[in-house]
Amino acid sequence: MSKRQDIIDSLNTLFGNISIANGYTFNIGSDVFEWRTTPLPDSKTKALNFWDDEETCEEEGNLLWHDLHIKVNLLCNEGADKAATLRARMQDVLTAFKGILEDTDVIDTVKEAYYISSTMDVEHADKKETAALMEFVIRYITPLWEI
């Protein structure tokens, strides 16, 4: 398996562990998806879909430094104040994401992780969903010609 896949597997686990029992503000449960391409049912009130759509690399001797871009789409159609609920859940995602720096399965590969940006789209008028798009970069290292 590739180091890149190891990182994606780690993120899937970290995001899947978002629960009140683990100190977060909500339970994501089985609503974590990697590269989901089909629409969610209208009955879904929460979901997290993430994907790794871009990577840039730099050679350094016999090593390759990778900047893996991760995007997270967080759906949040719960709570009386949906904007406040979404912000709290964005913090939960950010907290879970930083766990990539401590995950023993990838600790020798992942060197840095960054939170780059986010946008929020809150339900209003004809818009029926409240969601955020969060962007991250994971810097990791491999031998040349490996991902």
CA distance 139 to 39: 31
pLDDT digits (tens, 9 = 90+) for 78-127: 877 889 999 999 999 999 999 999 999 999 999 999 999 999 998 766 55
Locate the domains of the chain by residue range. Answer: 3-143
Q: What is the pLDDT of residue 127?
A: 55
pLDDT confidence of residue 125: 60
CATH of 3-143, one of 3.30.300.210, 3.40.50.970, 3.40.50.2000, 3.30.2000.10: 3.30.2000.10
- Quote the mean pLDDT of the chain: 94
Give the burial string for 32-45 (b: 16+ CB within 10 Å, else e): bbeeeeeebeeeee
